Amino acid sequence: MPTNASTPVPLSGWTILCDFDGTIAVEDVIDSLLDRYGRPGWEALEQDWRAGRIGSRECMSGQVALLDMSREQLDAHLSTLWIDHAFPGFVARARALGVPIRVVSDGLDYAIHKILGRYGLDDLPLAANHLSPATPPQRWQLTSPFQAEGCASGTCKCACVERARADGATRTLLIGDGASDFCAADRVDFVFAKHRLIEHCRAAGIAYVPITGFEDALEFLPKLLDGSLLEAETAPHVATTP
């Protein structure tokens, strides 16, 4: 997985894979851009994706092509978007405990870099779709350097899990909130789940704990590392695979 920083050795054995939109970021970046700068037609693509007629890569590629904005407008908009207030503290705590964090997102790399950069977190390894200018002016295009054969997502998070293991992780923690995290949740060792991911983990019998944000994640991370969170009989709010 190409990154903008060397991937640290997972001293604890764990590596964290963390979704961005709706998890680190308070709101979905691409949705907010489409609401403000999207030309007609992006809603139909959204409906096709939600109905399962197209995958997220096809949906987002078509929607990005409908954005009508300059780079200045894009940057101004991104400057108004925020992340979970406890995420910087969570990153610091994870690093102190020897747990690498990788951001794995089906969103936009440029936006993620810009937003995390305001918090001094632009050195986090990142897998995401690539946003770049197109012709004519104020047009944009999407490419997916982290796609995988047979996967309809722009960023194949299952492949990200396998890459983390290849890089030395003996256990993987996923932190996420929605449909783009469902497949990866089936393959990791534990999940900190928000929103729709909670229901998926519960229905699929995946080991997880529900969180509302990174204040909860800060509380649960040390318990995950010492093993107490994995003891389903004594750890509250944990659903484990039978």
Confidence of residue 12 (pLDDT cuts 50, 70, 90): confident
DSSP state of 30: H
CA 38 – CA 41 distance, rounded (Å) = 8
pLDDT at 230: 83
CA 61 – CA 52 distance, rounded (Å) = 16
Cα dist from 120 to 33, 72, 74, whole Å:
23, 21, 20
CA 128 – CA 56 distance, rounded (Å) = 13
Q: Kindly report, residue by residue over 127-184, the tens digit of the pLDDT.
A: 999 999 999 999 999 999 999 999 999 999 999 999 999 999 999 999 999 999 999 9
Q: Kindly report, residue by residue over 18-62, the tens digit of the pLDDT.
A: 999 999 999 999 999 999 999 999 999 999 999 999 999 999 999
C-alpha radius of gyration, the chain, whole number: 18
pLDDT at 232: 53
Q: Kindly report, residue by residue over 67-116, the tens digit of the pLDDT.
A: 999 999 999 999 999 999 999 999 999 999 999 999 999 999 999 999 99
DSSP state of 212: S
DSSP state of 8: P
Question: Does the pLDDT of residue 10 top 80, yes or no?
Answer: no
Walk me through the domains of the chain, giving residue ranges and CATH numbers: 14-27+82-128+145-230 (3.40.50.1000)
Confidence of residue 240 (pLDDT cuts 50, 70, 90): very low
Confidence of residue 2 (pLDDT cuts 50, 70, 90): very low
